[in-house]
Structure 1
Amino acid sequence: MTFGTADTAGPAHAALVDQVAAAAAGVSGVAFLRPGLADRLRSNRHRAANGNNSGTPAGVRMTRPDADSPWHVEIHVVALRTARTVDVARAVRVTVAHRLGALSPPQPAPRITVTVTGLV
């Protein structure tokens, strides 16, 4: 569900999503970001041949209705069984908020939703 604004298309948006994905994946207790259906269906060989990883990182969706609105960030992670799920979700939310604040400070505060979809 992308709203099709200029902010959600192109290399600047892709770079921002990559930064958010890296921040979320680096949180203690996160095993990995949940792959989407397209990522599961596309083979690694196909991605390497095309020089990309399906356009956007798995487990992160960033949208906003217009340039003046806050980012709506949805993150889906798989957590380690040894970590408390609620602590992992909170840490991901705080880390992503800090990263977005550093990357685009004049923007309104983002709305961040973190969902733990599994444990390993």
Structure 2
Amino acid sequence: MTAQHAEESAPYGNPALATLAAEVATAVEGVSGVAFLRPGLTDRLRSAVSRPGAAPAGVRMSRPDGDGPWQVEIQVVALRRARTVDVARGVRDTVARHLDALAPTRSAPRVTVTVTGLV
């Protein structure tokens, strides 16, 4: 991993990046068919008091090329009543629109969505 990649990926040392990741997480949670973002091991072990700058569960953002497009990885658990493909597409489109609204002149983000379970 390059030094630039380390600076631009989770866990977020940059408060602005942590805020952006939290905004993306909030947008994803509002997508129809999403039950919740997949919690990681640290989220399960974390105390009730959250640490500032901590990466939101299920969201990983990086910009390996520095000024290149965002690479966003989202992991969600979907509701059984929803079609998984529709949930994944909805999440991808929501994240892309959110990031495009913040920086319309940048290259389109590369968004990967993984549905890790159904409830």
C-alpha displacement of 1:54:
6.9
Taking the aligned partners of 1:53 and 1:109, their CA distance within structure 2 comes to: 28
Name the structure 2 match of 1:93.
Answer: 92
C-alpha contact 1:38 1:54 (8 A) present in aligned 2: no
| 1:29 and 2:33 correspond | yes
Tell me whether 21-30 or 34-43 shows the greater mean CA deviation. Answer: 34-43
C-alpha contact 2:15 2:53 (8 A) present in aligned 1: no
C-alpha displacement of 1:62:
0.1
C-alpha contact 1:62 1:72 (8 A) present in aligned 2: yes
C-alpha displacement of 1:66:
2.8
Which AA in structure 2 matches 1:105? P
Name the structure 2 match of 1:110.
Answer: 109
Taking the aligned partners of 1:28 and 1:53, their CA distance within structure 2 comes to: 28
TM-score normalised by structure 1 residue count: 0.86
| 1:16 and 2:17 correspond | no
Q: Deviations over 1:55-107 (max 9, x none)?
A: 01100000111322111100000000000000000000001100000112221
Name the structure 2 match of 1:4.
Answer: 6
- Specify every segment of 5 or more residues in structure 1 that has no aligned partner in the other structure, as ranges: none
The percent identity for this pair of structures is: 64
- Specify every segment of 5 or more residues in structure 2 that has no aligned partner in the other structure, as ranges: none
